[in-house]
Chains A and B, each alone.
Chain A
């Protein structure tokens, strides 16, 4: 990560200097190549001087464990890493302690109701986080329409796909999952269908013209 930030800074500093804009335009591919693609976004975190959070500072251990378990069921692990490996629970903890702190009270209350509801389930003797996977999945199915579950789901997706500096999307796990490469510069072809585009064919009666 350390070598990515200067590269991005070099890129933007060069672009920011209007006198050198034409030089930048000509040299973009090589400038971009100098910034390792997988860390181009993470470089922002370095630039901001803030390391991604790696501990829980808002939620208590029981709360954090249950949130972790729920997030892991929303985007489970497996052949490809899911929400837990991406650090989504840390994102949620960070969000509720900072930019979404106005949601914390409602979130806590929702979580308490979630926990109490789970405890009332037949055959339940542990907190949600320690329950059997079948029990967890069955209970989530019951509560998936509740505002609390919707809030965790929203936060899970945000955490999975937001910049790593917020605590989730660790090592770009979220972007990798959805097929997004991290880079600040692209050139065509972008995808499968524009590879062999033959060029724009004018319509009868029209005369496209350029400067």
Chain B
């Protein structure tokens, strides 16, 4: 029987968010002996409730923030008035116990050593704020390993010549290769590149009481009905609850952090399932709500003493929003690949990971072979293909012959790219809504176009019969929500310190994509989880030393 607490009780920690970082934070703090309540906006769903329903999950906000009730506004430039977008939000995340770890594709790349020191290596870059992290790869490496072993990642250590060093191999062998992986590997090897089995947070064998992947083919956007995907809801959350000290309170939407006159957090204000307001007392608050909800919560928690938002003396809360810009190509082959079967990605390459001044711009990334669900794929056609009639029908019949070669890359941090609060718009709970301001840095666009050219080369070398280069447009949203409460040593230029404590509020900690200083090259979840293990260790240490 999972523990439940009364709102009048003062727990040691409230963790806001049950996703990639929140689940780990809860388990680590609870296992260390602390009382913990995890507050989750969304419902708790059982594995059997997740369907193979592409319409629901891709078009009807089945488990994601629904623009109808959780609207956001968007603009490219601070001089514009932000507006709602037709039928969608700029920033998307899962709103369910497990958070976005419930619906991710489960690509689990470590950052490389270079990611932590690019400010020194390549900065400054005009228009960007490219700075070093306050921690290094070496400091995070033990926690990457901890994620791989305790959450569960499959892969082949040492396969890529470009991999950073590691202290242990993956606990599980790689997933079986798909046709897209074979073709990607064939093309890349012909070009002298080094494709290798993709590390995935998906069980390839029975591991920690969860079964191997059923190869149903529906990972990205879907939650795993067999619990083979290493989502918080199947991994960390049950282990947190098993301590008898952790309550996961679902359908609980935290909208303001309570503060006292001494400048300490006292708990959280939240709405329950019936939109009834409550206040939960706590000794400390750890916000793991994602790179959009975390800054929104801080900005909506302004007090007389902190009128610009909580923990925002630097003015950096919500700033430096980053996605992962990239470019790729779609390719058709002579025989069926059947990409609708099997885990989404089975081969990647990191030959172009580092930025290279010879290219004439900053940026680096990785490539993978992947597929799209049929319903999404069928919505558009390559240039020159009829969009209706017999020609379109013929195109539809070619679905199983296609694959994607996708590039995933850097987005530069820019101060003007941000999440803040819309001056007018409110959500269905009456809470002031997010306003998103975002414009790609010119180098991000150049790098994405460069990636399209490389993807075309790889698919050509693989023997594709038809290649459709991706179009590189200006970003108007994303799902990798990074950088908005960046960590740093200087309270004037960052929101949290290297232990994830806010510079301004001693008992308020933040840990999620918002903590990241640079974007990495896509696939940020492993890093977010490693940060969470590391942060939890320090936060627990502080608590035990009475230093919170």
Contacts and interface: CB of A to CB of B under 8 A. Distances in A.
Interface in B372-412: 374-375, 378-379, 387-390, 392-393, 396-397, 399-400
Interface string B26-62: 0000000000000000000011100111110001100
Interface in A65-83: 73-76, 78, 80, 82
Most buried by A among B161, B338, B341, B388: B388
Nearest to B238: A18
A210 B173 contact: yes
- The 3 A-B residue pairs whose C-beta atoms are closest, nearest first, are A191-B179, A192-B335, A193-B179
Given A24-B226, A163-B51, A184-B216, 9 more contacts: A12-B226, A18-B210, A44-B53, A73-B388, A78-B390, A190-B338, A200-B196, A203-B159, A203-B194
A175 B339 CA distance: 13
B178 interface: yes
A16 B47 CA distance: 7
A162 B517 CA distance: 40
A185 B214 contact: yes
Interface of A: 9, 12-13, 15-16, 18, 21-22, 24-25, 28, 32, 41, 44, 73-76, 78, 80, 82, 99, 102, 137, 140, 144, 153-154, 157-158, 160-163, 166, 175, 177-180, 183-194, 197, 200, 202-203, 205-211
A76 B393 contact: yes
B495 interface: no
Nearest to A191: B179
B177 A178 contact: no
Contacts of A137: 389
Interface in B114-149: none
B217 interface: yes
B478 interface: no
Contact of B341 (A28, A99, A186): A186
A211 B378 contact: no
Interface of B: 46-48, 51-55, 59-60, 68, 156-161, 168-174, 176-179, 181-183, 194, 196-197, 206, 209-212, 214-217, 225-227, 333, 335-342, 374-375, 378-379, 387-390, 392-393, 396-397, 399-400
B378 A161 contact: yes
A184 to B, nearest CB: 5
B47 A73 contact: no
A183 B181 CA distance: 22
Given A24-B211, A73-B388, A192-B179, A203 B161 contact: yes
Contacts of B392: 74-75
A60 to B, nearest CB: 24
B161 A192 contact: no
A52 to B, nearest CB: 13
Contact of A200 (B171, B178, B197): B197
B476 to A, nearest CB: 19
A179 B197 contact: no
Given A160-B378, A194-B179, A211-B171, A21 B52 contact: no
Contact of A163 (B55, B214, B215): B55
A179 B378 contact: no
A177 to B, nearest CB: 6
A21 B211 contact: yes
A158 B48 CA distance: 24
Nearest to A74: B388
A194 B211 contact: no
A196 to B, nearest CB: 9
Contact of A192 (B68, B214, B337): B337
B389 A178 contact: no
A10 B118 CA distance: 52
B216 A162 contact: no
B216 A185 contact: yes
B340 A180 contact: yes
B225 A12 contact: yes
A12 B47 contact: yes
Nearest to A163: B53
Contacts of A193: 179, 182-183, 333, 335, 337
A211 B161 CA distance: 19
Contacts of B159: 200, 202-203, 206, 208
A12 B48 contact: yes
B211 A22 contact: yes
Contact of B396 (A153, A178, A208, A211): A178
A80 B51 CA distance: 28
B54 A161 contact: yes
B71 to A, nearest CB: 13
A173 B342 CA distance: 22
Contact of A175 (B197, B210, B374, B387): B374
Nearest to A71: B388
A16 B216 contact: no
B393 A177 contact: yes
B240 to A, nearest CB: 16
Nearest to A196: B182
B390 A76 contact: yes
B178 A21 contact: no
Contact of A197 (B54, B171, B177): B177
Contacts of A205: 161
B388 A140 contact: yes
B542 to A, nearest CB: 33
A76 B396 CA distance: 12
A211 B170 contact: yes
A166 B168 CA distance: 48
Given A144-B388, A200-B159, A190 B178 contact: yes
A206 B169 CA distance: 14
A164 to B, nearest CB: 11
Given A178-B374, A180-B374, A186-B342, A157 B379 contact: yes
30 contacts: A12-B225, A13-B48, A21-B227, A22-B211, A32-B214, A153-B387, A157-B378, A158-B55, A160-B378, A161-B54, A162-B53, A162-B55, A163-B54, A177-B393, A177-B397, A178-B374, A178-B399, A180-B340, A186-B217, A186-B341, A188-B178, A188-B342, A189-B179, A193-B337, A194-B182, A200-B159, A206-B158, A208-B156, A210-B170, A211-B170
Contact of A190 (B47, B170, B342): B342
B206 A25 contact: yes
B85 to A, nearest CB: 14
A48 to B, nearest CB: 9
A75 B390 CA distance: 7
A153 B179 CA distance: 30
Contacts of A74: 388-389, 392
B215 A190 contact: yes
Contacts of A13: 48
